[in-house]
């Protein structure tokens, strides 16, 4: 049976990948050490997700290991050498704010951990597809230089602008403020590309916008749509950081992202890079998201406007999906903002009210 290794298997994207590839006939091995609980507190723990995956999928194996540990990572790959066909790397420290509180841990997880996985793959699975969950934060605050127009509830680009349909990878990552999180992820992104080019490994960087779905933990510092809906349901006050709440994000459901991973794996190529997100069909401003949460939950959100945006935060981000769609024409988005939020509410409202945020 072919083996798929998934780092960060207890997280939103990692757990979705586990289920997908177990059902596809893979012997899936997860690497997970529940650092989300250390990053964001007990409410963000992934332990229950790992327990659920083990219960639902007897074929699944979970390795309790830290990707910063070179020897542990190398062992996991060495023991399965010759069987590994796919590596999905989703383990990360994902927060701007947390990165600034502990830059060494942030860089160790995001950059050095990625290097350990790449080296293990090169040594023991050089033919395996290596899929990396990168981020649009590799572009720093360059998107904030776009000539945005202020509309009633959102910022927007003129239709004549080259990026109106979405930002592609032609945008520079240089001469911008990234946040320390953006820097560590950019380092990892470049490593993945270089292993593809230099060693001719089949690698891809998916530079995601907001990745979301009903399994998102919805922590305060990470997981904006899930946390927004959680606050609406539980009556927890919410603070919008800057830009008058008109900042725009595209959001991609975890199932749609995993489908993109699978499409790449079916026809891999070295050093591929794509911006991936909800694109023009699944995006919203903060104000629009608040309205949608209130409408779906049937109650008002107690929110206030903060004065300053987070460092390196984007005023507007919509991904251009056309390059990926051109290379993988069978892949299509299935979820929009309304469907994502409705699913979050349906699957989590009862649990959230039983254990308030």
- What digits encode the pLDDT tens for the residues 114-161? 999 999 999 999 999 999 999 999 999 999 999 999 999 999 999 999
What pLDDT is attached to residue 247? 95
pTM flag (> 0.75): yes
Give me the residue spans of the domains in the chain: 3-354
What pLDDT is attached to residue 218? 64
What pLDDT is attached to residue 47? 93
Q: How far apart are the first and last CA of the chain?
A: 42
What pLDDT is attached to residue 219? 65
What pLDDT is attached to residue 312? 64
DSSP letters of 273-334? EEEES-GGGSEEEHHHHHHHHHHHHTS---EEEESSPPTT--SEE-B--HHHHHH-TT----
- Asked if residue 3 lies in contact with residue 85, where contact means CB atoms within 8 angstroms, the answer is yes
Please state, in angstroms and rounded to a whole number, the distance separating the CA atoms of residues 177 and 190: 17
Element counts in the chain: helices (H) and strands (E)? 13, 15
What pLDDT is attached to residue 352? 86
The full 3-state SS of 267-280, as one line of letters, equals CCCCCEEEEECCHH
Among left, alpha and beta (phi > 0; psi -120 to 50; other), residue 238 is beta
- pLDDT less than 70: residues of the chain: 217-223, 311-312, 355-357
Instruction: Name residues whose C-beta falls within 8 Å of residue 299's C-beta, 6 or more positions apart in sequence.
Output: 232, 233, 235
DSSP state of 345: H
Length of the chain: 357
Please state, in angstroms and rounded to a whole number, the distance separating the CA atoms of residues 308 and 311: 9
Backbone φ, ψ for residue 142 (5° rounding) = -55, -40
Topology given in CATH for the domain delimited by 3-354: Rossmann fold (3.40.50)
What pLDDT is attached to residue 217? 63
Secondary structure class of 31 (helix, strand, coil): strand
């Amino acid at each position: 049976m072919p083996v798929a290794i998934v780092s960060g298997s207890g997280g939103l994207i990692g757990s979705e990948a586990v289920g997908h590839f177990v059902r596809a006939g893979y012997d899936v091995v997860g690497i997970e050490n529940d650092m989300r609980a250390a990053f964001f507190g007990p409410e963000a723990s992934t332990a229950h997700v790992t327990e659920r995956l083990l219960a639902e999928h007897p074929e699944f194996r979970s390795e309790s290991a830290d990707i910063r540990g070179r020897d542990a990572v190398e062992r996991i790959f060495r023991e399965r050498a010759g069987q590994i066909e796919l590596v999905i790397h989703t383990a990360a420290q994902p927060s701007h704010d947390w990165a600034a509180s502990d830059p060494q841990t942030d860089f160790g997880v995001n950059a050095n951990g990625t290097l350990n996985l790449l080296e293990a793959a090169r040594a023991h699975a050089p033919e395996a597809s290596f899929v990396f969950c990168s981020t649009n934060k590799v572009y720093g605050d360059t998107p904030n230089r776009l000539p945005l127009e202020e509309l009633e509830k959102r910022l927007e680009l003129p239709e004549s602008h080259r990026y109106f349909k979405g930002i592609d990878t032609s945008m520079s990552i240089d001469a911008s403020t990234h946040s320390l999180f953006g820097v560590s992820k950019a380092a990892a992104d470049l490593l993945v590309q270089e292993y593809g080019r230099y060693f001719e490994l089949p690698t891809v960087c998916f530079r995601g916008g907001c990745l979301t779905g009903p399994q998102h933990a919805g922590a305060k510092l990470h997981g904006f749509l899930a946390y927004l809906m959680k606050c609406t349901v539980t009556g927890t006050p919410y603070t919008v950081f800057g830009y008058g709440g008109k900042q725009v994000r595209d959001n991609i459901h975890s199932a749609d992202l995993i489908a993109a991973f699978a499409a790449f794996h079916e026809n891999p190529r070295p050093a591929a890079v794509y911006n991936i997100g909800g694109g023009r069909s699944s995006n919203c401003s903060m104000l629009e998201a608040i309205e949608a949460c209130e409408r779906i939950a049937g109650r008002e959100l107690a929110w206030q406007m903060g004065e300053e945006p987070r460092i390196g935060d984007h005023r507007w981000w919509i991904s251009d999906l056309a390059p990926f769609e051109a290379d993988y024409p069978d892949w299509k988005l299935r979820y929009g903002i309304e469907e994502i939020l409705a699913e979050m509410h349906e699957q989590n409202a009862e649990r959230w009210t039983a254990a308030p945020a």
